[in-house]
Chains A and B, each alone.
Chain A
Amino acid sequence: MRYFLRKLLQLVIVVFAVTFTVSLALGAIPYAEERIIAAKGSGAINEEEKNKLLDSLNLREPTLVQYGYFVGDLVTLDWGVTLNGNQPISTSISDGLGISLRLMIYGQLVALLIAIPAAVFAAYRSGGLFDRFSTTVSFGFISTPNYVLATILGLLFTVRWKLFPAISTDVGFFEAPWDHFRNFFLPTIVLALPLAGAYMRLLRSDLVNTLQSDFITTARAKGVSTPRILFGHALRPSLFSLVTAAAVNVGALVGGSVVVETAFNLNGLGRRTVLGIFASEFRLVQITVVILALVYVITNFLVDILYGFLDPRVRVGRLG
């Protein structure tokens, strides 16, 4: 319980600090007001509208008041509209979140589907041909920057062989499953391969350790079949670090797939934020960053709690 409370306190502090920093960041941007006016189209609006716009951003209020307004708007979902096009910011964010979440889930699933069988086979004959091959390949995947992978796959699959659209569009799965697959295939692969490499290495080394323990020898002596030993006995106790890494990535990938989203022109949350920074859509950026940080912090919090349940030593603090 003390462990839980300590983590909860930490969560609250971080959330407060993040919202506070994000709220203040607007005031710290050089020429923030000018940029906002320019984004709105300086010629198009008169002095009165200009003042109204700047008033609505509370830029001239004292710091703490600004923060109060910001949190107030955030909690009451009063997010306003984008400077360009007057689209509600909430719509833009929920659209982006939908794409980013799907990309994250597909990427994780594909990565795990590749990594788990590969790691099991590699660990089963550790030092063998497949082990050496898969370790090398996974090392290659880890060392490939995702924009390099996106460029090369893009060149092969869309430019040369024209199998997939170069620019992915967000087509719903239920409306057009085939188009949905075509549009999300390459981004998913680019996201999944480096992940698969990292996951495979984690699981392989844990599995190799597990396979040396006594209960595996016992199972073998009892005549349990090899697949049963691998998947039934050895896999579960070895999943610890893999599950942790995958869970942490759930939070990190929602905002962290900016490059993949950019490479395939998917308007996910990360890409919208980057474009927002360029287009001086500061309000949109502020809110997205808070949401992304919250997702990240809360998943990490849940991982910590889960960790404490699974391994009591963590709670006592002996593992740091």
Chain B
Amino acid sequence: MFSAVGASFLPYVNHSCDQFENENLCTTHVETNPLLAERPPSWALFSETTRPIVGDAPERFGLFGTDTNGYDLFSRTMFGARNSLLIGALSILFGILIGGILGLVAGYMGKRVDKVIDTIMNIFLAFPALLLAIFIVGFFDSSTTTEAKSRSIAPIVIALVILSIPPIARLVRANTIVFAQREFVLAARGLGAKNGRIIVREILPNVMPAMVTFAITGMAILVVAEGALAYLGLSVTAPTPTWGAMIFGGQTKLETAWWISIMPSIILFVTVLAINLLGDALSEKFRIREAIG
């Protein structure tokens, strides 16, 4: 299958501008992305008349072959990384920010504040995660059912942030409770430090390792979750798709063109595996016990 690896790069470079009517666009593109994606993911390789109905196999074209539109699958997968990873990173970033604050406050304040926050988190957890995400994404589709929908990454990120807040808040809360009882916190309070300062200067640095580790594993989970949303037909509808959308798009072509789904699947798997390995190594380093539930 990969016998064409070496050769596959040559035709790209040789006549990479032939297909494009606007040569400026092409040169700019090749200059800005010299190695990774030699073809813009949304431009077809073939003219309307010669474009194959079902994609070309990897043996015959490029690294990954082409999809049903004749787009280069390798380029699309590379560009898909932008969307998939951006969605994952943004979601976990906001999730950590909001969930972290909630967890710190709940764990440090205890008592009534803790109970209120914990109950709210329990309510969110009670909803089936994916259904909640679907509902949130669907909520932002303000059009009625029949219109064709275009969707940016914003609603997806919002949905994933909401999904990620409760587990993060729980983890941070559990860690905060442990440190809030330690003597250095007592000492800081004895010196007259205010609550805000104690949380930020004394507790946060100690909770940080657990947060960072969880953030990494969480990002893998969210990249997968975005794929699941796409698999159910709910993800961004930009010209460059996410991996999930690509896997979903090739589902009906498994019999005739397996690579359309399988290639992005493999890339997604390897990415998730890599992120998980990193998270695992970190959690071993910091000796974090996995929070149950």
Instruction: Mark A residues whose CB is within 8 Å of B.
Output: 10, 13-14, 17-18, 21, 25, 28-31, 34-35, 38-39, 139-140, 142-148, 151-152, 154-155, 159, 241, 244-245, 248, 252, 255-256, 258-259, 262-263, 270, 273-274, 277-280, 285, 289, 292-293, 296-297, 300, 320
Contacts and interface: CB of A to CB of B under 8 A. Distances in A.
B128 A292 contact: yes
Contacts of A152: 262, 265
A14 B123 contact: yes
What DSSP secondary structure best describes chain A's contact surface?
A: helix
B231 A38 contact: no
Contacts of A258: 128, 130-131, 228, 232
A248 B122 CA distance: 13
A40 B292 CA distance: 45
A38 B145 contact: yes
B130 A270 contact: yes
B229 to A, nearest CB: 10
Interface in B255-293: 255, 258, 261-262, 265, 268-269, 272-273, 276-277, 280, 292-293
Interface stretch (B136-144, B157-165, B204-212): B136-144
A143 B273 contact: yes
* Most chain A beta-carbon neighbours within 10 Å: one of B134, B141, B227, B232: B232
A147 B268 CA distance: 11
B142 A14 contact: no
Contact of B145 (A39, A151, A285): A39
Interface in B86-135: 119, 122-123, 125-131, 134-135
* Most chain B beta-carbon neighbours within 10 Å: one of A145, A155, A245, A280: A145
Given A30-B139, A38-B144, A148 B268 contact: yes
B36 interface: no
B247 A151 contact: yes
A140 B128 contact: no
A38 B147 CA distance: 12
Given A13-B119, A17-B123, A29 B139 contact: yes
11 contacts: A14-B126, A18-B126, A25-B135, A30-B142, A139-B273, A139-B277, A146-B228, A147-B248, A148-B269, A273-B131, A297-B126
What DSSP secondary structure best describes chain B's contact surface?
A: helix
B130 to A, nearest CB: 5
A145 B268 contact: yes
B128 A145 contact: no
A28 B142 CA distance: 11
B177 interface: yes
B254 interface: yes
Instruction: Report, nearest first, the 6 A-B pairs whose CB atoms are least far apart.
Output: A255-B128, A143-B273, A145-B224, A293-B126, A148-B265, A17-B123
B129 A274 contact: no
Given A30-B142, A320-B174, A18 B258 contact: no
* Most chain B beta-carbon neighbours within 10 Å: one of A148, A155, A159: A148
Nearest to A240: B292
Given A145-B228, A147-B228, A147-B244, 15 more contacts: A10-B122, A21-B123, A30-B139, A38-B146, A143-B220, A145-B268, A252-B128, A256-B128, A256-B130, A259-B228, A259-B231, A273-B131, A274-B134, A279-B145, A289-B128
Nearest to A244: B292
Nearest to B225: A145
Contacts of A300: 293
A21 to B, nearest CB: 7
A252 to B, nearest CB: 8
Contacts of A140: 273
B152 interface: no
B19 interface: no
B126 A296 contact: yes
A28 B139 contact: yes
Nearest to B244: A147
Contacts of A39: 145
Contacts of B141: 30
B20 to A, nearest CB: 32
A60 B78 CA distance: 49
B130 A159 contact: no
Nearest to A143: B273
B251 interface: yes
B181 to A, nearest CB: 12
Contacts of A154: 254
Nearest to A253: B128
A240 B91 CA distance: 33
Contact of B127 (A31, A34, A289): A289
Contact of B119 (A14, A159, A279): A14
A245 B177 CA distance: 23
Contacts of B244: 147
Contacts of B125: 296
Contact of A289 (B131, B174, B231, B276): B131
B94 to A, nearest CB: 21
Given A30-B142, A143-B269, A159-B255, A292 B123 contact: no
